[in-house]
Structure 1
């Protein structure tokens, strides 16, 4: 099994991020895993990734969880992307991601906005490309579980034009903010940027579909995000590469 090592502060063998992979192990597309990978880069923490597929539940059974990301940091095991970001802030307080008090509440609100407004729109745009990017042995599982959740076939959900219109409406306040600052968290990216970027990176990795108009502020922001932290996201393989 292929894994990736990120050479930054600390010993990478002490930290492992279990990370969703696709039909090619280089395809790492989980929006939640990308939140964590950007947060680790933000903190300057060394780690390695362990590729994981949808049905490899036994591989992360030690975490008492059945989804990734899972962070192993020495003796600590943390699940759920947002909780991992909170853990990183508590354990490595330099370069905060979410903050506390009012800052944390605003980040939590933005998390819910992304998950309930942005991600559903993206799913309509890329769902069939996503299915193709998944490992062949996982496709039946993915189809069965998602169609049960949505109560319709994936082919019925797939509507890129409607998804782009839905996404455009959801991103109206995001574009307004990005007209005033280069990143959502100000002059440099932080936790809120990674919450949105994770979902957009998910679509970017699995699909060649256009997500937004080229002159939209969010388009320029996304390009900037691909380049931050030594281009960790921009260097990631996409379906166009494999």
Structure 2
């Protein structure tokens, strides 16, 4: 590389100068990789003309017109021009493979998912928080241009979007709540300040972009910044500290930016199990022998055991007996309802270790840790992304599918289980099971929610060009989550149902191909 790369950024009027949420992601990427570059500072009105001049394409449309944005990276050594921070990170990974990878192999779909979900929840709320001060930190031409756009969109002055008081507090609470959700996901990794534990990735840049925006505009003495570095057990303070060496306008000396390379799961790989006895999987029986296993949550555990080829046998438990069985074998409750502990299946019991584990996610983590020589369900420190996918996908899908399958479910449950399940479902929904998802607009809306969620998963998975799985050619827990929910729909509504036939056709046939692969893991022992 004979010439430094060129990063196009929006200039601020403060000493830090770099403030833009999206360009900070590209800047941090360059700094982490130690790639030499220089910044060309732009003002808002000049972006479109510059992009056309250097052949940087639009990054979307607005009002039917092409939208030109920063960051833009120009590589004079290859003649390449790249727009969008995620695409810039991809380019840098490909062009400079001996530098720290920002999108580790197989994680592209998860990185894209994290970016989309996090930015959707944070970007607008953070804009509301900083809007009043941002206008004071832009050069005059940029301020005029930015005001016209934002004030035309929201119908009020920038200073009135979220002034000090309840409006700003409400916007800030949304930011804090989202960071709290990320903390919940990130806590799945036992080591390191990063989303992938001790390995930095683009997901960390997605978080750092808004944080650097807040720092640049509101300042380190603001109440928001002081709160930020303390909340969630100080996670964001530690992340900011870890990124301190690369929070500069040009590439730094990276000697101080070190990453631990030892995975906590790699340390467990030294444990080898003798596994002399089959594990026990506790499941809820259906009435049909061909569809005795129907529960989507238990299917996640069953798929996991089958993928890993771990010997097990099923213990069938009816709904009214679950709590008693769980207490008898020492299974912990998986939550609370009305202040009382709730016991659910799946549960696995491992006679080789004495462990009893409830909850499909925890079961998968246990199997990975205890039987490391089997296929990993959380490969390459992706546990945080898998957690995030589970919650994001199921929040949109599980209640919709439950209503869609509720009526046929009554034909699949044994009499005692049916009485118990009907009582719980009707209390939860406030209506008779027969009244759930009636044919017409209500049912169509529920089905659209399922289809839209699958469409989002397809979009993320398409980031990996090879293979049918979320990680391309590597199966992981995220695929199990999708397969289990669809298995539930298939079992209850049948393969001749309108919904199942549509599942096999949508998203370029992705889910049909996924099920072709999962057929070999549909084993149910008797």
TM over 0.5: yes
Question: Are residues 1:220 and 2:237 paired?
Answer: yes
When Rg is computed on C-alpha atoms for both structures, the one with the higher figure is 2
Aligned match of 2:104 in 99, 111, 125? 99
Deviation at 1:178, TM superposition (A): 4.9
| SS state at 1:56 partner | helix
Cα–Cα, structure 1 residues 214 and 70, in superposed 2: closer, same or farther, change >3 Å? closer
Residue number among 162, 169, 175 corresponding to 2:177 in the alignment? 169
Q: In structure 1, what is the equivalent of residue 22 of structure 2?
A: 32
Q: Is the 8 A contact 2:43 2:141 kept in 1?
A: no
Return the offset for 1:96.
Answer: 1.2
Q: CA deviation at 1:138?
A: 1.8
Establish whether residue 232 from structure 1 lines up as the match of residue 234 from structure 2: no
Aligned residues: 224
* Structure 2 CA distance for aligned equivalents of residues 44 and 200 of structure 1: 22
5+ residue gaps, structure 2, are 59-67, 252-526
Matches within 5 A, 1:1-242: 10-11=1-2, 13-24=3-14, 26-57=16-47, 58-61=49-52, 62=54, 63-65=56-58, 66-74=68-76, 75-94=79-98, 95-101=100-106, 103-158=107-162, 159-179=167-187, 180=190, 181-208=192-219, 209=222, 210-211=224-225, 212-216=227-231, 217-229=234-246, 232=248
Deviation of 1:112 (Å): 0.9
The Cα offsets for residues 1-38 of structure 1, whole Å up to 9 and x where unpaired, read as xxxxxxxxx54x43100111112575111111110111
Structure 1 contact 126–160 (Cα < 8 Å) conserved = no
TM-score, length basis structure 2: 0.40
Matched-pair contact (CA < 8 Å) for 1:24–1:135? no
Partner-residue secondary structure (3-state), 1:118:
helix
Residue by residue, what CA displacement relative to the aligned partner does 1:156-209 show, whole Å, maximum 9, x if unpaired? 421321122111111112223455442112114221111110111011111133
Secondary structure of the 1:23 match is: coil
SS of 1:171's partner is helix
The 3-state SS of whatever aligns with 2:22 is helix
32 and 225 in structure 1: CA distance in 2 versus 1, 3 angstrom threshold? farther
How far did 1:220 drift?
1.8
Distance 1:136 1:218, change over 3 A: farther
Deviation, structure 1 residue 106: 0.9
Distance of aligned partners of 1:106 and 1:56 in 2 relative to their CA distance in 1, 3 Å threshold: same
Gap change, CA 1:25 and 1:227, over 3 Å in 2:
closer
Normalising by structure 1, we get a TM-score of 0.82
Distance 1:25 1:111, change over 3 A: same
Distance in 2 of aligned mates of 1:147 and 1:108: 30
Q: Hey, what's the Cα distance between the residues in 2 that align with 1:87 and 1:214?
A: 32
* 1:55-112 per-position Cα deviation (integer Å, ceiling 9, x unaligned): 11323322244321110112111111111111111222232111343x1111111111
* Matched position secondary structure for 1:55: helix
Judge conservation of contact 1:15–1:48 (CA < 8 Å) in 2.
yes
Larger RCO, structures 1/2 (Cα 8 Å, 6+ apart): 1
Shift in alpha-carbon separation, 1:172–1:69, aligned structure 2, 3 A:
same
Indicate if the aligned counterparts of 1:34 and 1:201 stay in contact, CA closer than 8 A. yes
Q: Which runs of 4+ in 1 moved over 4 A?
A: none
SS in 1 for 2:87: helix
Cα displacement (A) at 1:232: 2.9
Please state whether the residue corresponding to 1:49 is helix, strand or coil: strand
Contact 2:7-2:38 at 8 Å conserved across structures = yes
